[in-house]
Chains A and B, each alone.
Chain A
Amino acid sequence: GDSVTQMEGPVTLSEEAFLTINCTYTATGYPSLFWYVQYPGEGLQLLLKATKADDKGSNKGFEATYRKETTSFHLEKGSVQVSDSAVYFCALRSGNTPLVFGKGTRLSVIA
């Protein structure tokens, strides 16, 4: 079945550091890919998405590129802020089915 693997955390960075959170997937068909973010004490919210190969999703300074050849959708940000501290989930959907989530990566940014 479909699955998502993302790097285990926690990830701790200093403010203004570069962030990469790796995400790879296995899917039948041609999935759409998503990054969701969960701030402390809240539900998940969509951060960005990409629906076909080579698409780049972007939002709030975060970017991820849909790489079909490497089955990856790594999340990047050039300069993180304390307010980016959260749990980040990679997810996919390859049919008229529920989202499949990775286990989440906790990011802590220190001033």
Chain B
Amino acid sequence: NAGVTQTPKFQVLKTGQSMTLQCAQDMNHNSMYWYRQDPGMGLRLIYYSASEGTTDKGEVPNGYNVSRLNKREFSLRLESAAPSQTSVYFCASRHDVRSRRFQETQYFGPGTRLLVL
């Protein structure tokens, strides 16, 4: 299993450009997540998808859109990039089982480093 994969690994954008960050998992997980990591801020949740066909806002959704394309794939789109979106973006997935009392492990991808000039 490849686990959680993310593309690209690194990207430089100019202010106002758009791009889509791709994420895929091969573990048949139902929940998927997008986080951003900034120095001193830890991880902040952007959007998540509890199941195929559903998406919900996290702590910092402004300036982003997401698509849960199928059970495997969850993409993050920046329509008009801004320097404040310079960050490292992590995708994660988890298999939620109602009977297991919230103890399931969440698996992370290797991250995408985005620089917006």
Show the binding face of A for B, using Cβ within 8 Å.
31-32, 36, 42-46, 49, 51, 89, 93-96, 98-99, 101-104
Contact = CB atoms under 8 A, between A and B. Distances in A.
B74 interface: no
Contacts of A42: 110-111
Interface of B: 4, 33, 40-43, 45, 48, 50, 58, 90, 92, 96, 98, 101-103, 105-111
Contact of A93 (B58, B98, B102): B102
Nearest to A29: B102
B26 to A, nearest CB: 15
A23 to B, nearest CB: 12
Contacts, number: 50
A98 B48 contact: yes
Contact of B103 (A36, A51, A95, A104): A51
Contacts of B110: 42-43
24 contacts: A31-B102, A32-B102, A32-B103, A36-B108, A42-B110, A42-B111, A43-B4, A43-B92, A43-B110, A43-B111, A44-B43, A45-B107, A49-B103, A51-B101, A51-B102, A89-B42, A93-B102, A96-B98, A98-B48, A98-B58, A103-B40, A103-B41, A104-B42, A104-B43
